[in-house]
Amino acid sequence: MTRPKRQRKMCVPPEMQGFKPFGIPKFHLEMVTLLFEEYESIKLLDYNGLTQEQAAEKMNVSRSTLTRIYENARRTIAKAFVEGKIIVIGGGNVKFETEWFRCKKCFRLIAGIENHIQCKNCLTYNSNELIKIS
Protein backbone atom coordinates (compact mmCIF):
# COMPACT_ATOMS: atom_id res chain seq x y z
CA MET A 1 0.00 0.00 0.00
CA THR A 2 1.43 3.37 -1.02
CA ARG A 3 1.58 6.40 1.21
CA PRO A 4 -1.02 9.08 0.52
CA LYS A 5 0.35 12.06 -1.40
CA ARG A 6 0.98 15.15 0.67
CA GLN A 7 -0.74 18.25 -0.64
CA ARG A 8 1.67 20.68 -2.27
CA LYS A 9 1.47 24.27 -0.98
CA MET A 10 0.92 27.08 -3.42
CA CYS A 11 0.52 30.78 -2.61
CA VAL A 12 -1.20 32.14 -5.71
CA PRO A 13 -2.70 30.40 -8.75
CA PRO A 14 -1.40 31.51 -12.16
CA GLU A 15 -3.05 34.54 -13.76
CA MET A 16 -3.45 32.65 -17.03
CA GLN A 17 -5.26 29.37 -17.60
CA GLY A 18 -2.86 28.15 -20.27
CA PHE A 19 -1.01 28.87 -23.51
CA LYS A 20 -1.77 28.26 -27.17
CA PRO A 21 0.59 28.01 -30.15
CA PHE A 22 0.48 31.12 -32.30
CA GLY A 23 -1.03 30.95 -35.79
CA ILE A 24 -3.02 27.70 -35.51
CA PRO A 25 -6.78 27.70 -34.81
CA LYS A 26 -7.64 26.22 -31.41
CA PHE A 27 -9.96 23.54 -32.82
CA HIS A 28 -6.99 21.99 -34.73
CA LEU A 29 -4.89 21.56 -31.59
CA GLU A 30 -4.62 18.90 -28.92
CA MET A 31 -4.12 19.79 -25.26
CA VAL A 32 -1.68 18.79 -22.54
CA THR A 33 -2.23 19.57 -18.86
CA LEU A 34 0.39 21.25 -16.72
CA LEU A 35 -0.65 20.58 -13.13
CA PHE A 36 -0.65 23.42 -10.61
CA GLU A 37 2.25 21.83 -8.70
CA GLU A 38 4.23 21.52 -11.95
CA TYR A 39 3.58 25.19 -12.73
CA GLU A 40 4.67 26.13 -9.19
CA SER A 41 7.91 24.14 -9.49
CA ILE A 42 8.81 25.92 -12.76
CA LYS A 43 7.94 29.29 -11.19
CA LEU A 44 9.96 28.73 -8.02
CA LEU A 45 13.03 27.16 -9.63
CA ASP A 46 13.34 28.90 -12.99
CA TYR A 47 11.50 32.21 -12.55
CA ASN A 48 12.24 32.98 -8.87
CA GLY A 49 15.67 31.28 -8.96
CA LEU A 50 15.26 29.37 -5.70
CA THR A 51 17.34 26.30 -4.93
CA GLN A 52 15.61 22.93 -4.96
CA GLU A 53 15.77 22.81 -1.16
CA GLN A 54 14.12 26.23 -0.82
CA ALA A 55 11.44 25.43 -3.39
CA ALA A 56 10.71 22.04 -1.81
CA GLU A 57 10.24 23.71 1.56
CA LYS A 58 7.86 26.31 0.09
CA MET A 59 5.80 23.56 -1.57
CA ASN A 60 5.83 21.32 1.53
CA VAL A 61 7.43 18.36 -0.26
CA SER A 62 10.78 16.58 -0.17
CA ARG A 63 13.55 17.64 -2.54
CA SER A 64 13.31 14.36 -4.46
CA THR A 65 9.54 14.84 -4.90
CA LEU A 66 10.13 18.38 -6.14
CA THR A 67 12.66 17.03 -8.66
CA ARG A 68 10.08 14.54 -9.99
CA ILE A 69 7.42 17.25 -10.24
CA TYR A 70 9.86 19.57 -12.04
CA GLU A 71 10.93 16.86 -14.52
CA ASN A 72 7.27 16.12 -15.34
CA ALA A 73 6.66 19.84 -15.88
CA ARG A 74 9.63 20.11 -18.25
CA ARG A 75 8.47 17.05 -20.22
CA THR A 76 4.94 18.46 -20.52
CA ILE A 77 6.18 21.85 -21.72
CA ALA A 78 8.65 20.28 -24.16
CA LYS A 79 5.91 18.05 -25.60
CA ALA A 80 3.65 21.08 -26.09
CA PHE A 81 6.40 23.09 -27.80
CA VAL A 82 7.64 20.32 -30.08
CA GLU A 83 4.22 18.91 -31.01
CA GLY A 84 2.39 22.26 -31.08
CA LYS A 85 -0.14 21.53 -28.34
CA ILE A 86 -2.16 23.80 -26.06
CA ILE A 87 -0.94 23.91 -22.45
CA VAL A 88 -3.83 23.98 -19.96
CA ILE A 89 -2.82 24.80 -16.37
CA GLY A 90 -4.91 23.22 -13.64
CA GLY A 91 -5.58 20.28 -11.37
CA GLY A 92 -3.21 18.34 -9.22
CA ASN A 93 -2.80 17.89 -5.50
CA VAL A 94 -2.37 21.46 -4.22
CA LYS A 95 -3.50 23.50 -1.25
CA PHE A 96 -3.64 27.27 -1.57
CA GLU A 97 -2.89 29.45 1.45
CA THR A 98 -6.23 31.21 0.90
CA GLU A 99 -9.33 30.43 -1.16
CA TRP A 100 -9.05 31.70 -4.72
CA PHE A 101 -11.85 32.40 -7.19
CA ARG A 102 -11.92 33.41 -10.85
CA CYS A 103 -14.61 35.62 -12.41
CA LYS A 104 -16.49 33.65 -15.10
CA LYS A 105 -16.79 36.73 -17.30
CA CYS A 106 -13.40 38.49 -17.18
CA PHE A 107 -11.30 35.68 -15.57
CA ARG A 108 -9.88 38.03 -12.89
CA LEU A 109 -8.41 36.27 -9.81
CA ILE A 110 -9.97 37.08 -6.43
CA ALA A 111 -8.36 36.08 -3.11
CA GLY A 112 -11.27 35.03 -0.90
CA ILE A 113 -15.00 35.41 -1.48
CA GLU A 114 -15.11 38.29 1.03
CA ASN A 115 -12.83 40.32 -1.27
CA HIS A 116 -15.20 40.12 -4.23
CA ILE A 117 -16.20 43.60 -5.30
CA GLN A 118 -17.82 44.90 -8.45
CA CYS A 119 -15.56 44.08 -11.35
CA LYS A 120 -14.73 47.17 -13.42
CA ASN A 121 -14.25 45.10 -16.58
CA CYS A 122 -17.46 43.08 -16.57
CA LEU A 123 -19.67 44.75 -13.91
CA THR A 124 -20.17 41.49 -11.99
CA TYR A 125 -21.51 41.76 -8.42
CA ASN A 126 -22.82 38.25 -8.06
CA SER A 127 -20.72 35.63 -6.27
CA ASN A 128 -22.47 33.02 -8.49
CA GLU A 129 -20.31 34.40 -11.30
CA LEU A 130 -17.15 33.08 -9.57
CA ILE A 131 -15.36 29.75 -10.11
CA LYS A 132 -13.50 28.31 -7.10
CA ILE A 133 -9.94 27.36 -7.97
CA SER A 134 -8.90 24.15 -6.27
pLDDT (0 to 100) of residue 87: 96
The mean per-residue pLDDT over the stretch 104-119 comes to 68
pLDDT (0 to 100) of residue 124: 56
Q: How far apart are CA 124 and CA 128, in angstroms?
A: 9
Q: How far apart are CA 117 and CA 114, in angstroms?
A: 8
Q: How far apart are CA 32 and CA 72, in angstroms?
A: 12
* Tally of CB atoms within 10 A around 76: 19
Q: pTM higher than 0.85 for the full model?
A: no
User: Domain map of the chain by residue range?
Assistant: 19-93
CATH of domain 19-93: 1.10.10
pLDDT (0 to 100) of residue 111: 75
pLDDT (0 to 100) of residue 28: 87
pLDDT (0 to 100) of residue 119: 63
Inter-CA distances, 45 with 50, 66, 88, 89, Å: 5, 10, 20, 17
pLDDT tens readout for residues 83-98: 999 999 988 888 887 7
The residue among 67 and 123 whose pLDDT is bigger is 67
One-character DSSP codes across 12-32? S--SSSEE--TTS-GGG--EE
